[in-house]
Amino acid sequence: MSVPCKFERSLLGHDEYETIRLTHHPTIYEVEPAELEAIRSRLRKMRDKEQTLERAVASSAAIPGVWPPITIMGQRYIDGGVRSMLNADLATGCDIVVVVSCFALEVVGKNADMATLNAALIGELGALRNAASTLAVIAPNEAFLTLTNRGAAMLDSNLEPEAFRIGYTQATQEAEDIRLTWNS
């Protein structure tokens, strides 16, 4: 379906997306690895057609069954977490990689499903390390994991203010390490 649906237009009308729309952001980030070369021209076309950042943000949160796919340049996009919770393997070939995980990368207790999922995620990170990439991984801290019941309550919108506070605090604590990695 290439036409935006009514629910999509309603979603993009929320105040959160207005803030994104009114904030200055770089128009594009260049992507260099050969595996991603195919999308570079598409990114440039999106920039040239002034596709909005709020659509990109909304599509990254479009979880099937929860939020609708978002239309960008006639194509529908959904959360990349449907493919992989990290998508770190897409950075293969990059010299420096910063991976952000919304979920813990270690299993607490005897949850076989989480163990299987985490094995795949840890495999993605291992492949990057084996490819000689400089790698930094940001994972949720214990305060966030406690707030979200180790990720089970991740979509509870009542948690947003506290999740933001926790995330902001963690970001300021980790900023120097990430800066050092990025500039290595």
Going by pLDDT thresholds of 50, 70 and 90, the confidence category of residue 25 is very low
Instruction: Report CA Rg, the chain.
Output: 18
Q: What is the pLDDT of residues 39-96, one digit of tens each?
A: 556 666 666 555 667 787 788 888 887 788 888 878 888 888 888 888 888 888 888 8
Cross-strand pairs, 70: 77
User: What per-residue confidence (pLDDT) applies to 29?
Assistant: 41
User: What per-residue confidence (pLDDT) applies to 31?
Assistant: 42
- Gap between the Cα atoms of 95 and 33, Å rounded: 9
pTM, whole model, 2 decimals? Answer: 0.62
- Gap between the Cα atoms of 156 and 153, Å rounded: 5
* CA triple 62-67-71, angle to 5 deg: 60
Choice between 25 and 143, residue whose per-residue pLDDT is larger: 143
Q: What is the pLDDT of residues 154-178, one digit of tens each?
A: 888 899 889 999 999 999 999 988 8
* Kind and range of the H or E run holding 15: helix 15-22
Choice between 111 and 173, residue whose per-residue pLDDT is larger: 173
Q: What is the pLDDT of residues 137-148, one digit of tens each?
A: 999 999 999 999
Longest dimension (CA), the chain: 50
Tell me which range, 101-105, 106-110, 112-116, 140-144, is most confidently predicted by mean pLDDT.
140-144
User: What per-residue confidence (pLDDT) applies to 12?
Assistant: 65
Q: Cβ distance 127 to 162 under 8 Å?
A: no
- Gap between the Cα atoms of 34 and 45, Å rounded: 19
